[in-house]
């Protein structure tokens, strides 16, 4: 509601001064929210159930698989699909506070770096003309960050697992339940949503809406109940981003035309500035902000959508990776926290989570800077 109210005077101003800016922003918003909504609805009709033995190996497999799925079905889709099964797998253990934190680091953020479907900022780049498969150039960063995080998680989880009592470990083995998937009719619909990304607008959005409606029709109510599915989260996101897209339009125009006066020209600067703001604002509009800034610089070298490739890599990596620095940096972060708290596992406070991020992610951000952007 606050975002909508604040956007109204900006929209009135744009209509009076340059309505084309508002129309262009509305077109991007429509494509953006239809993709998020269709992934939210279709993955909300898929429920992964079961209870594996809560060993460090199995937990690491969850996170590794999630990091791959995040680029295929989006960080929101992968997070919602896997988090409940992972929490249920570990319900017999007591030393598990680190598990949802590393899940947010990897599945809800760093894993979604390889395709425009993976994370909202990259999809906005795709709408701005970045080729779909260009994001595969982020693979070395994806592999470095997720590989190190997975290794750190395994070492921490192994120590935590060894602290569990023999009684709890025995109970965990007795309650093993094979994984099973409900709502399988949504799998081809999910593939359809992913494939429709390659269609031109507005055919793309029409196909996504139709597939979402089919999903709602075919999904049994029991599956939605198991997933605690409701439209409230996506409505909240839609309203928030409506305000963001409107209010960002004049700022993006200004950065594109006056960005050269700010003195931000090097990839490392773009990586940290994009990342810092992505930590405390949503990473999608932050990505657009610095993309527009870079487009206004006219730096020498081969370009993609008017931005030199090293700078575009830095903006993309900063938005995706540093969205994990706080609970509000990326949409799935707070969803995972809420689901974890509801499952009876106490997650850190806002600043407590930031302390975890500072301990594990800040050194990784420094490493990425020196390996790829210096």
Give the integer Cα–Cα distance in Å for 117 and 124: 10
Provide the pLDDT for residue 2. Answer: 52
In this predicted model, which residue has the larger pLDDT, 201 or 14?
A: 201
- Of 264, 227, 253, the closest CA to residue 19 belongs to 253
In this predicted model, which residue has the larger pLDDT, 133 or 230?
A: 133
Query: pLDDT-derived band of residue 18, with 50, 70 and 90 as boundaries?
Result: low
3-state helix, strand, coil in the chain (%, to 5): 75, 5, 20
- pTM score: 0.84
pLDDT digits (tens, 9 = 90+) for 292-316: 888 878 777 778 888 999 999 999 9
Give the integer Cα–Cα distance in Å for 131 and 119: 15
Q: What is the mean pLDDT of the chain?
A: 86
Lowest mean pLDDT among 1-5, 165-169, 202-206: 1-5
β partners of residue 64: none
The most confident of 24-38, 56-70, 193-207, by mean pLDDT: 56-70
pLDDT digits (tens, 9 = 90+) for 311-347: 999 999 999 999 999 887 887 887 788 888 888 888 9
Query: pLDDT-derived band of residue 29, with 50, 70 and 90 as boundaries?
Result: confident
Query: pLDDT-derived band of residue 27, with 50, 70 and 90 as boundaries?
Result: confident
Query: pLDDT-derived band of residue 190, with 50, 70 and 90 as boundaries?
Result: very high
β partners of residue 181: 48
In this predicted model, which residue has the larger pLDDT, 273 or 207?
A: 207
Provide the pLDDT for residue 230. Answer: 82
């Amino acid at each position: 509601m606050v975002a909508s109210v604040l956007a109204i005077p900006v929209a009135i101003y744009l209509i009076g001064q340059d309505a084309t800016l508002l129309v262009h922003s509305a077109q991007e918003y429509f494509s953006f929210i239809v993709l998020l909504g269709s992934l939210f609805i279709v993955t909300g009709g898929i429920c992964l159930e079961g209870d594996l033995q809560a060993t460090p190996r199995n937990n690491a497999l969850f996170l590794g698989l999630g990091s791959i799925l995040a680029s295929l079905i989006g960080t929101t889709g992968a997070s919602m699909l896997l988090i409940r099964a992972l929490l249920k797998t570990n319900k017999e253990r007591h030393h598990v506070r680190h598990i949802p934190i590393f899940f947010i680091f990897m599945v809800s953020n760093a894993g979604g770096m390889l395709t425009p479907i993976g994370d909202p900022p990259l999809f906005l780049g795709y709408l701005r003309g970045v080729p779909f498969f260009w994001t595969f150039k982020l693979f070395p960063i994806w592999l470095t960050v997720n590989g190190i995080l997975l290794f750190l998680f395994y070492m921490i989880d192994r120590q935590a697992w060894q602290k569990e009592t023999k009684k709890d470990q025995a109970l965990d083995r007795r309650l093993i339940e094979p994984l099973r998937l409900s709502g399988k009719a949504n799998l081809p619909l999910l593939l359809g949503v992913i494939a429709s990304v390659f269609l031109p607008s507005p055919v793309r959005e029409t196909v996504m809406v139709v597939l979402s409606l089919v999903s709602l029709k075919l999904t049994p109510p029991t599956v939605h109940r198991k997933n605690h599915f409701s439209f409230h989260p996506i409505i909240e996101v839609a309203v928030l981003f409506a305000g963001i897209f409107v209010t960002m339009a004049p700022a993006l125009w200004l950065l594109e035309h006056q960005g050269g006066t700010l003195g931000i020209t090097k990839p490392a600067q773009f990586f940290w500035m994009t990342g810092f703001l992505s930590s405390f604002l949503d990473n999608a509009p932050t990505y657009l902000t610095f993309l527009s800034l870079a487009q206004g610089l006219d730096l020498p070298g081969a370009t993609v959508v008017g931005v030199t490739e090293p700078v575009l890599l830095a903006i993309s990596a900063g938005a995706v990776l540093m969205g994990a620095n706080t609970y509000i940096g990326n949409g799935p972060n707070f969803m995972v926290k809420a689901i974890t708290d509801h499952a009876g596992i106490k997650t850190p406070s806002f600043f407590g989570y930031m302390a975890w991020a500072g301990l594990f992610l800040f050194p990784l951000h420094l490493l990425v800077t020196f390996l790829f952007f210096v």
